């Protein structure tokens, strides 16, 4: 099945970076499938973009198999998708052994299982079309293991590794894969209940980026041969420092 229409599917579209992806993709897409749990916000976004694209809100909890299955169904019926943006995410805050397991498992279900399921569903259509873009939204923390966000950081590190290997597998098929690693970005992310105790005042003003800048850098980078994308020059320095520190922890000899 091929289609002349350009279609995007964006998860976590009801707010923040995902909503911004929808706004910036609206001028290059005919159809946008927007996924989240909060119907009202999805409908507001669909209304605001309605003059630019045919926007389909889809309420689904992507931590569940049932939610993932419904999104895959929409991808098959309304696609093929040209842009798959696996963006939905959240973090807990606190040491692994002191938090309930359930929300930490949900991060794995959302960041990893749902992203894998949607990639697996979208790639055959992209292959048939000979083109496609996949953005898996990771995080700057993926480069530096940190206490209090162990599972969040590890689930995002998975996305970097996975995206790089997936790009190797798909490189001759016209499909671009990106792992987008934002640093601190002004969204609702840090105000969520699961982040209780986080004070945005801890973060120096100059470290914050706007979602619009993050998304603009992501979309611009899709024209380059670059899988792991870190928006913002100061964030790129932090990412490089994190990677160097990880290498330094690996002794080259047994002495």
Report the interface residues with ligand NAP, using CB under 6 A. Answer: 11-18, 36-38, 61-63, 87-90, 110, 137, 139, 182, 184-185, 187-189, 192
Q: In angstroms, what is the minimal distance from the CB of 129 to ligand NAP?
A: 26
Return the number of the residue (115 or 167) whose C-beta is nearest ligand NAP.
115
**Cβ distance to ligand NAP smaller for residue 88 or 154:** 88
Identify which of residues 155 and 167 has a Cβ nearer to ligand NAP in the complex.
Answer: 155
Q: What are phi and psi of 135, to 5 degrees?
A: -115, 120
Cβ 172 to ligand NAP shortest distance, Å: 29
Nearest-approach distance from CB 66 to ligand NAP, in angstroms: 11
Between residues 127 and 186, which has the closer beta carbon with respect to ligand NAP? Answer: 186
- The minimum distance between CB 127 and ligand NAP, in angstroms, equals 26
User: N- to C-terminal Cα distance for the chain?
Assistant: 59
User: Least distance in Å: CB of 186 to ligand NAP?
Assistant: 7
- 83 in catalytic set: no
Q: Which is nearer to ligand NAP, 5 or 120 (CB)?
A: 120
The set of catalytic residues is: 152
């Amino acid at each position: 099945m091929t289609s002349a229409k350009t279609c995007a599917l964006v998860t976590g579209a009801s707010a923040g970076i995902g909503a911004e992806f929808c706004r910036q993709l609206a001028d290059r897409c005919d159809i946008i499938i927007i996924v989240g749990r909060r119907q009202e916000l999805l409908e507001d976004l669909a209304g605001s973009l309605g003059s630019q694209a045919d926007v389909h809100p889809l309420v689904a909890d992507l931590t569940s198999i049932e939610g993932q299955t419904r999104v895959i169904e929409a991808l098959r019926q309304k696609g093929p998708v040209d842009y798959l943006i696996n963006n939905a995410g959240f973090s807990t805050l606190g040491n692994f052994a002191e938090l309930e397991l359930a929300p930490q498992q949900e991060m794995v279900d959302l960041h990893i299982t749902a992203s894998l399921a949607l990639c697996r569903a979208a790639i055959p259509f992209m292959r048939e079309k000979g083109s496609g873009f996949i953005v898996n939204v990771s995080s700057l923390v993926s480069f530096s293991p940190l206490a209090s966000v162990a599972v969040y950081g590890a689930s995002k590190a998975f996305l970097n590794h996975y995206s790089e290997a997936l790009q190797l597998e798909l490189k001759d098929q016209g499909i671009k894969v990106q792992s987008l690693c934002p640093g601190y970005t002004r969204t609702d992310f840090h105000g969520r209940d699961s982040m209780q105790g986080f004070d945005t005042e801890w973060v120096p003003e100059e470290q914050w980026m706007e979602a619009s800048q993050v998304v603009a850098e992501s979309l611009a980078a899709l024209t380059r041969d670059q899988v792991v994308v870190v928006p913002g020059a100061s964030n790129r320095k932090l990412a490089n420092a994190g990677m160097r520190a990880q290498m330094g922890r690996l002794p080259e000899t047994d002495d």
